[in-house]
Amino acid sequence: MGDRKAEGALQQVTTPDYEAMVIGAHPDDADFATAATSALWAKQGKKVVWVVMTDGTEGSEVPSIGDTDLMLIREQEQRMACEVLGVQAVEFLRFPDGHLVNSEEARKAVTRLIRKYRPRVVFTHDPSQHIYAPDPNESPESTGHINHPDHRATGNIVLDAIFPAVGNPRTYRELLAEGLLPYKVHELYLFSTSQVNTYIDVSETIELKGKGLNCHDTQFDAGVDMVERIRERAAVVAKDAKEKQGLDIQYAEAFRRIKLYIPKEEKEKASEKKE
């Protein structure tokens, strides 16, 4: 970065507007990874926005459905889920499902949204997670799986947008004319990661998470109720929280939390405590 006091220098905005922005590749990714945390924060009066990177047109076993039809159905499912969870806003970027790449266009679109909503925290996929697989020597009965390329692309697009594009006044200068000033994201929460350091107690909203997922009719077999399934999964995460951090939680969501910016007042408070 150059001289912040130079004539004409534009300062980064550091005051957030929204509490959180969750950026997922497909409609339903944010639901699986962060819905209970999103609902909990929304319940606490915090503003949450979800962003879906792709149009979701590869999320079906039926080749004959028209792309636009499937896209609109899935967007409607996502809107309904957000309503159940109390998520205030949802944005659809409509990049082609299954073919998302870390392009100039994608980084700019994400930069625009982060500057628009100014989230204190951004949640996204951990882009470094390529393969999830147990050691076959230890658990010969289990299979692994490959992380969806759109998930990895989304993680990379979002990280590249947060740094340097969102905070740099010289990047995508045309956004300044839209009133979108350079902004500093305070924290990043990566989901579906093997480097978990943060567990959130979501016992209060775990049922809403299942109900939100139930809105995604096109994604599950008829008659499947996600509420029980989600409880089971979240209980396993809570068990992990007990083993790793000694936390007593019934249902949890897990993240890798990364601090990118600490406001001055918070730093001062922290040093006062130490003294």
Contacts to Zn ion by CB under 5 A: 25-26, 29
**CB of residue 56 to Zn ion, shortest distance in Å:** 9
Q: Letter for the amino acid at 18?
A: Y
Map residue 260 onto helix, strand or coil.
coil
Rounded to the nearest 5°, which phi and psi values hold at 20? -145, 145
The smaller minimum CB distance to Zn ion, of residues 26 and 107, is found at 26
Closest CA to 42 of 209, 236, 155, 191: 209
Map residue 190 onto helix, strand or coil.
strand
Report the relative pairing of strands 121-125 and 131-132 from DSSP bridges. Answer: unpaired
**CB of residue 137 to Zn ion, shortest distance in Å:** 30
Q: Which two tokens stand for residue 192?
A: 């579906």
The smaller minimum CB distance to Zn ion, of residues 27 and 182, is found at 27
Element holding 83 (H helix, E strand):
helix 67-85
The smaller minimum CB distance to Zn ion, of residues 133 and 270, is found at 133
**CB of residue 25 to Zn ion, shortest distance in Å:** 5
Q: Which two tokens stand for residue 154?
A: 């989304």
**CB of residue 148 to Zn ion, shortest distance in Å:** 5
The smaller minimum CB distance to Zn ion, of residues 194 and 197, is found at 194
**CB of residue 233 to Zn ion, shortest distance in Å:** 16
Map residue 197 onto helix, strand or coil.
coil
Q: Residue number with the shortest CB distance to Zn ion?
A: 26
The smaller minimum CB distance to Zn ion, of residues 37 and 192, is found at 192
Burial of 202 (0-12, 13-18, 19+ CB in 10 A): buried
**CB of residue 60 to Zn ion, shortest distance in Å:** 13
The smaller minimum CB distance to Zn ion, of residues 115 and 216, is found at 216
